[in-house]
Amino acid sequence: MMRSITLRQLEVFYETAALSSLSRAAEKLHLTQSAASMALAQFEAYAGGPVFTRLGRGLQLNDRGERLFPEAARTLESYDRFLSACEDNGPLKGRVCVGASTTIANYCLPELLGKFTAKYPGAEVSLRVGNTDEMAALLRAGEADFAVVEGEVSGGDILLRNWRRDELEVLTHPSHRLAGRKTVRLAELACEKWILREQGSGTLSTLQNVLSASGLRLQHVREIGHTEAIKRAVEGAMGISCLSALAVRREAIAGSLAVLKLSPPLYRWFSIITVRDRYQSRVSKALQKWLAGK
């Protein structure tokens, strides 16, 4: 009878549960499918029986697995703390996958990640990009360690920490009737032709919340799912838009777009999000701490 369980078996169980897939767990842990299957079988033998039920093409924790999963997470977390204590004076090494919503990925995060990897060359950082809703789904699926987003995320399973405050600004073609203004009120813009981000984006949800609170409704809206495409459309006099000040800085300086501040100003928070109680590796925690100080 098996007398002990290995760290690898525990990792296979944890990642299979987090990803709902043994093959994806094997890929993440850099194991062959057969090695991952054997490790899971050995884990189940030690646990006293199966820990998953098959649901369609995926795997779902059964009652035994549900009972063991949080303990596995705590054990891996404790092991990582032990490694951190051993390696405090050693180089930071390991992989981390970061999710980022579009504005942050395009205009904010790459420079910071570049500085982080220059400081810690043993850290391998990959970046996944999408809108806020897509990044939350990515986290829940276990395909990213944490994400940096610009919109609100619902659900008690997501832990959200404010990171940076961002201002949204209105942009128009330089020949637009409002182009000479320094500030503008949203109520003055309700009848304009708008070009906005798609449903699920943080920029759109922030604007919608403010409009709803003010009892306003935009009359003409066209959705385009990419910030750069929106700016080119505004440059082509197809309408006006509302984007992060980070996204329009270059065009404002060049004069290809007229940028107006809203009155009162419209701010939102960029946030770092993680799945509550999910295991975070040493390099993931180090990167989150490093970003929090920037």
Q: What's the confidence (pLDDT) of residue 92?
A: 85
- SS3 call for 168: strand
Q: Is the pTM of this model over 0.75?
A: no
Range 170-188 burial, b when 16+ CB lie within 10 A, else e = bbbbeebeeeeeeebebee
Residue 212, C-beta contacts closer than 8 angstroms, at least 6 positions apart: none
Q: What's the confidence (pLDDT) of residue 208?
A: 86
Q: What's the confidence (pLDDT) of residue 1?
A: 42
Q: Are residues 176 and 258 in the same domain?
A: yes
Q: How many domains does the chain have?
A: 3
Mean pLDDT, 10 residues at a time, the chain of 294 residues: 77 91 89 92 92 88 92 87 69 90 92 94 94 91 92 88 93 92 87 89 85 87 92 95 92 92 90 89 92 88
Q: Are residues 124 and 253 in the same domain?
A: no
Domain contains 2: no
Q: What's the confidence (pLDDT) of residue 88?
A: 60
**CATH (domain of 212):** 3.40.190.10
Domain boundary among 70, 87, 104: 87
Q: What's the confidence (pLDDT) of residue 87?
A: 62
Q: Which residues pair with 259 in a beta bridge?
A: 171
Domain boundary among 27, 59, 87: 87
Q: Are residues 83 and 98 in the same domain?
A: no
